[in-house]
Amino acid sequence: MTTDTESHADIVAAEDVLLFVNAAITATGQREFHSEAYEQRLSLDFLHEYVRVNYRRVYAASLALDINDHNAVRIVQGLLESAAEATADEKRTEGRLIAARLAVLPPQRVYRLFRALREARVNNRRTRAIMRDWLAARPDLAHDAVKYRRGLKTTARHIHLRRVDEPEALRELGEFLFRPGRLQRYRHQLLDAWRRAHYEQGAVDELPFTVAEGFAAAHGMKREAFVERMTHRMTRLERLRTQGQRSTGKEPRLPTDVDLTVMPLTRLALYVLSLGFEQRSAHRAELIRALRAAARRTAGPHAGSWGRVGAVLDDSYSSSGSGEKRRRPLAVALACHFLLEALAAPGAFAPLWTSGATDPLLVRPWGPTPLGTRILDALEHAPERLVIVSDGWDNAPPGLAGEVLRVWRNRLDPGRRTAVVHVNPVYDADGFDVRRLTPSVPTAGIRDAEDLPALVELAQFAEGRTGAAALYIYLDRQVARFVGDQEEETS
């Protein structure tokens, strides 16, 4: 009896952990096609509190997984706010995980996190030490002072960064943040450019693009001319966002100053979908080449190792996403198409889009979601792996996909010759998880196609054949890898 109870408890624990991981990968608290933003936030609030209280070890270990930045920040804040609930060993492990995660987060998110901690009056010694260490690792605090002025100022005040015995550069930074206008000029070129940009138009060109935009508007500079002048100061994404303002035609041209082949796969897919059909067709060779290059880079040593691969890819109307996440589900499916093509053996990839489309470059959100029919078509090819990329809203007819997979697994393929996995890019707020097709097929949440190989490994725990012990071993291995990788990069 005890063994049965413990086994059941292990299975429940594993299910709870996977449910949270799926949410942390996909949910961002923003509106989705089938749920509003407030529903997403309420659902996430409950999950974070539930897992932090009941599975604190797993809650912290999630920082080592491919969760999205929104949930990573929430986990860090939750751990620091509840430090009194942790043991000394847990605090040491959490500290290393937090430091490693902060190192890879965008700086603007970290500064917003630090502001939130200050507002929540989280002012213990460990929190201040984490903040100081992160600031010490920043490559140029003067750049942060110009671009993230409020965030750096709040952080410096919270950790008492200003001291009279600091080096001259740090004292100058303190003057810039807390007593602007007191110095007639700054030794640091960027700080002085910010000072001069208030009255000198030429100094605007020396500032980061997002900072320079405000000064350009104040000086009455024409937008198109300003964007053209600032090209050399822009990041790759800023060049893509502003390309339309540098175009002379009705349609924005592809940027000549950005190498599309080095862009991350999912981000590149989002960019491709932002183009019109005419542009995609006109630049077909260039876009396909960039997508395949990004896919091969993502596949790495696994390229060509998956054998015969079938894919059912959802381009139904719901893949249009929402106003906050426009075309995100479709972009994930498009990126997975090219990644699976790279992972499959040469000539052994069979993609099927729910709309019946045969040209991946011209897909668009359209029509119902006949997942069941497409899964039947995919299984006819006898793939070694079948990957389904969909939000799980099977509606043509409803429930057919789950029934097809149930019969296939139980009657036609009990030996599991075909490995089937469902990856879902959309969080279902009502179910506190991503929507599943059937209990007999593992489902994992996915944010970026780049995470697909790791998620296929994680999805094996969702089949209910392994308990919490095996999952904890996997998490410990991921924590060791993540913390070790970050320490190597900073050493």
Per-residue pLDDT tens for 139-153?
999 999 999 999 999
In 3D, which of 33, 13, 90 has the Cα closest to residue 472? 13
pLDDT score of 30: 78
The CATH number corresponding to 266-466 among 1.10.3470, 1.20.1070, 3.40.50, 3.30.450 equals 3.40.50
Q: What stretch of H or E contains 284?
A: helix 284-299
Provide the 8-state DSSP code for 449: G
- What's the pLDDT band for 259 if we cut at 50, 70, 90? confident
Q: Could you tell me the pLDDT band of residue 166, with boundaries at 50, 70 and 90? A: low
Q: What is the DSSP letter of 255?
A: P
Q: Which amino acid is at 150?
A: R
Q: Are 483 and 39 in contact (CB under 8 A)?
A: no
Share of the chain above pLDDT 70, in %: 90
Do 61 and 478 meet the contact criterion of CB atoms below 8 Å apart?
Answer: yes
Residue 229, both tokens? 């002048």
3-state secondary structure of 37: helix
β-strand partners of 351: 311
Provide φ and ψ at 8, rounded to 5°. Answer: -65, -40
Report pLDDT digits (tens) over 353-387.
999 999 999 999 988 889 999 999 999 988 999 99
CA count, 13 A, side-chain hemisphere, 122: 22
- Give the position of tokens 């789950």: 402
Q: Which residues pair with 326 in a beta bridge?
A: 321
Token code pair at residue 30: 């923003």
The residues of the chain that CATH labels 3.40.50 are 266-466
User: Average pLDDT over the chain, rounded to whole?
Assistant: 86
Residue 161 has pLDDT above 70, yes or no: no
Q: Where are the alpha helices (DSSP H) in 408-467?
A: 452-459
Answer whether residue 178 shows pLDDT above 60.
yes
Whole-prediction pTM = 0.84
Is a pLDDT exceeding 80 seen at residue 256? no
Q: Helix 125-137 to helix 149-158 angle, to the nearest 10 degrees?
A: 140
Strand blocks (E) in 240-361: 309-313, 349-353
Report the C-alpha gap between 129 and 115 in whole angstroms: 15
Q: Would you tell me how many other CB atoms lie within 10 Å of the CB of residue 203? A: 17
